[in-house]
Structure 1
């Protein structure tokens, strides 16, 4: 599976090129166009829920291969995050657009359970190899953090960070409203080394 993007960063479209019989799992209703012969199957039962977006759809290429063009529902960028099989990534739930079968979602990831106190938060963990395609509310910035360096990011702007980065979740104002589900009233402190990906506009 290969991913090429266009119309970025304001109205990004991801073209996913598939080998013969290869499949990609994507958010439903994001298919803009495809090459002829690509089949579409909705995982209406027993499939992964894409954070309120419904069960994902699986697109499979015919014997000659093919492609699908995926366009997020909202304006913004699309970003292929390449997983190397060694380091997992913690990703904003609203950002998922598409993934191959070689990239998996790790439900109940221990580090996230510890971060959110066992409750379902605004992040999910991915591991494996291949491109994880993310839909972003704005252009993507990469903050490279050196060892011993600290930065703070608001959850609504966070896109993803690797397992190599240390993370702490805290309340901005302990007396104010807070939501583990949306990140309202919270801040994330990161310690390097590593790279934190953020989007230049916050998710709605």
Structure 2
């Protein structure tokens, strides 16, 4: 649902329908190519945009109130309010990924980001000092304030900070961690059968 004049970014290929009068601006957002957002703006009376993920699973509305941000896996944002800032070069990622862009991006501001969950959503609330280890492919998002460490599964195997392949992510509280029960890579292979 969009308030009068409110804008949201979404991948055009995820679009199912909009209410009459919603402006679809492909030039501002990037056009019809997959992964490049299109901007949808509600008319004076407001409106709605209906989008759906490519893979089966849940959707989750992550509401940000401006007090803290979230680290979100690349590619899971189904729709992003225009009031949110998405930053793949967030300075705190330098300790995690070095100079490279990794498999996460930082989201901050006030608004809603709708996440496409592959499979079912699992939410873990971590108390101070409580830690969990997770495969990066299962991570949807975690809140600011958590402590993170990236480590190799095996020193001899292939590793990539861009995709998370061959790595594990240790996350310690306080904070919240959102994970998905399936991975997009595995689901795409299964659906291709």
Structure 1 length normalisation: TM-score? 0.85
For structure 2, the 5+ residue unaligned runs are: 186-193
Structure having the higher helix fraction is 2
| Residue 40 of structure 2 is aligned to residue 59 of structure 1 | yes
After TM superposition, give the deviation of residue 68 of structure 1 in Å: 1.0
1:2-26 Cα offsets, whole Å, 9 max, x none, are xxxxxxxxxxxxxxx1111111111
CA distance in 1, matches of 2:107, 2:27: 19
Runs of 4+ with >3 A deviation: none
For structure 1, the 5+ residue unaligned runs are: 1-16
8 Å contact kept, 1:173–1:185: yes
SS at structure 2 position matched to 1:40: strand
After TM superposition, give the deviation of residue 48 of structure 1 in Å: 7.2
8 Å contact kept, 2:13–2:34: no
8 Å contact kept, 1:43–1:55: no
After TM superposition, give the deviation of residue 171 of structure 1 in Å: 0.2
User: Residues 193 and 48 from structure 1, CA distance in 2 versus in 1: closer, same or farther, beyond 3 angstroms?
Assistant: farther
How many positions carry a matched residue from both structures? 184
Per the alignment, residue 141 of structure 2 pairs with 160
SS at structure 2 position matched to 1:33: strand
Counterparts of residues 100-111 of structure 1 (less than 5 Å): 100-111=81-92
Query: Pairwise CA RMSD of aligned residues?
Result: 1.6
Per the alignment, residue 55 of structure 2 pairs with 74
SS at structure 1 position matched to 2:150: strand
CA distance in 1, matches of 2:30, 2:47: 24
After TM superposition, give the deviation of residue 146 of structure 1 in Å: 1.1
After TM superposition, give the deviation of residue 59 of structure 1 in Å: 0.7
8 Å contact kept, 2:58–2:116: yes
1:130-184 Cα offsets, whole Å, 9 max, x none, are 1111111111111111111111000010000011100000001111111111111
Per the alignment, residue 33 of structure 1 pairs with 17
| Residue 126 of structure 2 is aligned to residue 145 of structure 1 | yes
After TM superposition, give the deviation of residue 200 of structure 1 in Å: 1.0
